[in-house]
Amino acid sequence: MTDGVDTIAAIATGAGAAGVGAVRVSGPLAPAIATRFLGREPAPRHAHFAAFRDGAGELIDRGILLHFPAPHSYTGEHVVELQGHGSAVLLDALLRRCIELGARLARPGEFTERAFLNGKLDLAQAEAVADLVAATSQAGARAALRSMEGVFSARVDDLLAELIELRVHIEAAIDFPEEEIDFLADPIIGDKLALLRNHLDELLTETRRGVRLNDGIAVAIVGRPNAGKSSLLNALAGEERAIVTDIAGTTRDVLREAIHIDGVALELADTAGLRESDDIVEREGIRRARAQLERCDVALLVTDEAHADTDQAFFHGVPAHAARLVVINKIDLVSRHAQREGDTLWISARTGEGLDALRSRLRELATAGAGEGAFSARRRHVVALESVRGYLDHTADALHGTRSGELAAEELRHAQQALGEITGTYSSDDLLGAIFGSFCIGK
């Protein structure tokens, strides 16, 4: 299986001094490299204590050598792991020796890419490996682990099976043109399609949550000029980043800040007052603000007591699945004010009053539903599922409207392809390059 494939090597452990470090080797030469280090052939999956020496016979380090013969390894190829002390100098010397013995430096993500190409894991699982390594919160790490173990992929595969079953029914109808209309009117087909769309919507909701667990939530701050949006962004980010002034329309671009609340990541964006403008620079800012609004998970309206009702108009353009929060700002200017009520919070971006309550509300929204069974996902997966939904809408139109089995079958073929892109059944070199290129080296 490894004919024509070269052997790759990389330091597999994190940078900096640590107790233990490891070099990982994968490919056809791995067993020969292991034999050179050990002085004899290594036993499969056995921890050998070995003296690692360089080409001149000088001792580099003593450590553990492990050999995982193909196909029972991470990559599906012959894999050898050399575990020594976690010094960058020692690990470099060890890696250099592996290169002398015929391996080449692995590219970022190349081990996992080989695991994918050898069918050890599908694309969504491979992405979860990188997400697990990069996880910054407990909930995020747990979710990434579930996706790595295939929880998300299994859900996609279930949907795929349902979709294929429907396709089979419809394609059977096409094969009998005289009876096609009757066939397509069969309630079984309508029922199956309705069920499929329900299941897709469920998965879409959970996948969006998976993206939130992975990337954190995208919060779009909306409201009138001078409401205090930039001030709030600064207060939450804890530094002077956005330009705060008394002149309406000063914030010309979408200002973004990545913050953490108890290990949960949030991306805050100040949408700079969405309003009509003749100014070109401002118009570009407005266009970006609108795009930001369309992909937000939470829309946060900054307003005051007097405008709280009319300012609801700023929620225009917020996607239906996003949460909406109303924040009454500048309470330091009023003598008495109401307390938190429903999804309205009272704050002062200037004095910091009420910000803790706002932070915990945002944290709640970010981790909502992250209990049992929550898996991690990426935006690419949401985009794929959204396009599947589009194709299923077209399928319904074809069945109920034009009553064309051909058209319905064609839409379902597209839907199947879009679903397959998630797990990598269908994938382009560009997509694989983008995914594995963003990995760290050694994974």
Residues of the shown chain interacting with Zn ion in the complex, contacts defined by CB under 5 A: 229-230, 251
Instruction: Name the nearest CA neighbour of 375 among 209, 171, 138.
Output: 209
State whether residue 406 is helix, strand or coil: helix
Q: Is 228 in the site for ligand GDP (CB under 6 A)?
A: yes
Q: With CB under 6 A as the rule, give the number of residues binding ligand GDP.
A: 19
Residue 271 is a binding residue for ligand GDP (CB under 6 A): no
Q: 131 Cβ partners below 8 Å, 6+ apart?
A: 140, 144, 147, 214, 376, 378
Partner from Zn ion, ligand GDP, none binding residue 227, C-beta < 5-8 Å depending on class: ligand GDP
DSSP output for 185-205: H-HHHHHHHHHHHHHHHHHHH
Measured from the CB atom, the residue of 112 and 251 that comes closer to Zn ion is 251
CA 289, 293, 296, 301 dihedral sign is: positive
Q: Buried b vs exposed e over 259-273: b needs ≥16 C-beta within 10 Å? A: bebeebbbbbbbbbb
Least CB distance to Zn ion at residue 11 (A): 45
CB neighbour burial string for 177-199, b if at least 16 within 10 angstroms, e if fewer: eeebeebbeeeebeebbeebbee
Q: Specify the residue, 350 or 414, whose C-beta has the smaller distance to ligand GDP.
A: 350
Which residue positions form the known binding site for (6S)-5-formyl-5,6,7,8-tetrahydrofolate? 24, 81, 120, 443
Please report, in range form, the residues annotated as the binding site.
24, 81, 120, 226-231, 245-251, 270-273, 348-350, 443
Residue from 333, 334, 338, 434 in contact with ligand GDP (CB under 6 A)? 333
Where in 241-260 is the site for ligand GDP (CB under 6 A)?
Answer: 244-246, 251
Binding region for ligand GDP (CB under 6 A) out of 55-63, 219-227, 281-289, 381-389: 219-227
| Residue range at the interface with ligand GDP (CB under 6 A); choices 54-62, 105-113, 116-124, 347-355 | 347-355
- How many helical (H) and strand (E) elements, i.e. helices and strands, does the chain have? 14, 12
Read off the tokens for 158: 């279930």
DSSP 44: B
Closer residue to ligand GDP, CB minimum distance, 132 or 300: 300
Query: Which amino acid is residue 36, in one-letter code?
Result: R
Is residue 285 close enough to count as binding ligand GDP by CB under 6 A?
no
* Overall size of the chain counted in residues: 443
CB closer to ligand GDP, 76 vs 228: 228
Detail the residues annotated as belonging to a binding site for Mg(2+).
Answer: 230, 251
Residues near ligand GDP (CB under 6 A) are: 223, 225-231, 244-246, 251, 329-330, 332-333, 348-350
